[in-house]
Structure 1
Amino acid sequence: MNSTSSVASGLQPLQRQAMAVKVLTKQEPITEIAKEEQVSRKFVYQQQAIAQIALNQAFEKKEPEQEVLYYLPITHSWIFQFILALILICHCSYRGVVELLRDLFDYSLSIGTIHNRVKKATAKARKINHDRDLSSIDVALLDELFQSNRPVLTGVDADSTYCFLLEAVSHRDEDTWGYYLLELEQQGLNPDYTIADGGKGIRAGQKAAWGDKPCHGDVWHIFDQCEALCRNLAKKAQGAITPREKLEQKIKVAKLQGKGNQLSAKLTQARKKMKKSLSTNVYWQKWNQLYQQLSEKFLPVKEAVESAMKSTPRASSLVENLNSCLRNYFFLRKHLNSDYLDLLRFFLNHRTFRSSRVRERVGKSPTELMTGKKHPHWLSLLGFDLFQRA
């Protein structure tokens, strides 16, 4: 190693910066600067190039889309929690996860690795599900849905929307329902009553497990059928109104021509048909009968009944809503297993509501609503550290 190279290697960053500034400002010839600093001219040119690049970058106009917002430290732990978020939040398939990591992160991962990591998270989720105390559930909503002709048993707390049952089974008979209800009883599930549709297996299984505990009939299906009936009647009424309106327009034109009498009979018939389609007095007849019986007590009684109806669960709408949410996950899978359903139930019970028709639910999870206690983020419960920008 010659003397000039040893001196150059010993220069500190600030000394190199000062040398580059001298060259860029052309205060002295490069040969003189090299002699003063006891370095080669080649080394001086190298510092000049480094300084010029830094100067160009400082004054370079950056497009807003290309501006770096923040840096994300990608670790194995972050990759694995990102995989869970893709599967549970974005409803992504395993192959979709592989493709996304390959195309956007230049990271290769096999489907087998994803499966193993999901299985590891499932073990923690299952333990949290099993340790949850269900004694605070007063009204339980029970239902069934099917995936590839295989029944899936579901159960939801009417107040908090907490899903306490999500099991793919071979049968939906008395023995199957009774077995899972008895298992849930060990976690403290003892509702005042349940709500279910007319499924014989649900009711027989509940009677076998819980004896004479009431199982109220579900009114959601009745409402759904009545809404369809109302739509049909509305269409029928509209079909009667439209011909009447057209005839009225024709009569106006005919009267100007002195021929109004020719359409008056048709218009009369159209008006009768419309009146028949729109009018019903049954509701108001019942109203008047009750009013005559109760007199001044009628309005207070009516308000009390309406208040009781609003605060009393009468339909399994929440469990039907859960079933519709589950469809968005099930369509990716031909077959369901208990591991996947345990993880899915854990996720649905611990994610927070971004919006809800019930204001008290916004920003809270079903678990928090049921227990009255806050809990960490669902990824933190599975042992991951959440990323936060500095």
Structure 2
Amino acid sequence: MIAAAPQPSLDNSLERRLFTRRSDLTEAIRLTIANTALNAILNRRWGAITDISKAYGISRTFVYSLANELKQLGQFLFKDKTNDPQALTRERKRSIEMMLSIRLEGCSSIGHVSTVMKRQACDLSSIGSISQTLSRIGGILPMTIDAQQTLQYLVFASDEIFSKTTPVLVTVDPCSSAILRIELSETRHADDWKNHFECLMDNGMEAIYLVSDDGIGLRAGHGAALSHTVRQSDTYHAVAHTLGSWVERFEKTAYKAIKERV
């Protein structure tokens, strides 16, 4: 049985440190960096964050994180004491919800997400904070949807995409566009696809139909794990491969005729 690994909670993951602590960056230096960066952000001094990162040999993301931590501390220290003590947590939650909505539903770049969030006076609106938050949330999401102990009968649409040269195996539900499972894989052989499909079944999803291209590994994995399920070539590849075979045949005929004429 191949089950999805238990995932840490969102709250715990958002609090984890992302950076390796450098002994030469003392607390005083970090406070100086945070103060300088926050001052630059609040006064819209473009290029200042880059200058700070170069001066101290640190990433822009780290500079933004220090500035954001100082900003949050200041908001906590100087906020109106009559406010609800849970207000900061609610504001953080609202900011994350806004961030995810703009990013996923609006299909916006991180820069555009930052622009919209700043207009709405949201926390975590800097590019660095958005990048960190999205990375942390992405890191704790499971690779496979959990059917929550209810067997789901679905159409599987499976294919490989690539992150540079590394294959990413993906299966989606074509009706809802929900990603059922996505995983980085060193190869895309039959065993990789077999394990991919078995993990889906172990998490409560049963294929009633499989749509895919004619990749050798994918088809072999289908035969090993889903031999009882009908597989159909997707329309694009079915047409493209058919046209490709015609093109190859016509090219051979044409070149043969040209050669005979010469």
TM-score, normalised by the number of residues in structure 2: 0.46
Structure with higher strand content: 2
- Structure exhibiting the larger radius of gyration computed from Cα positions: 1
Structure with higher helix content: 1
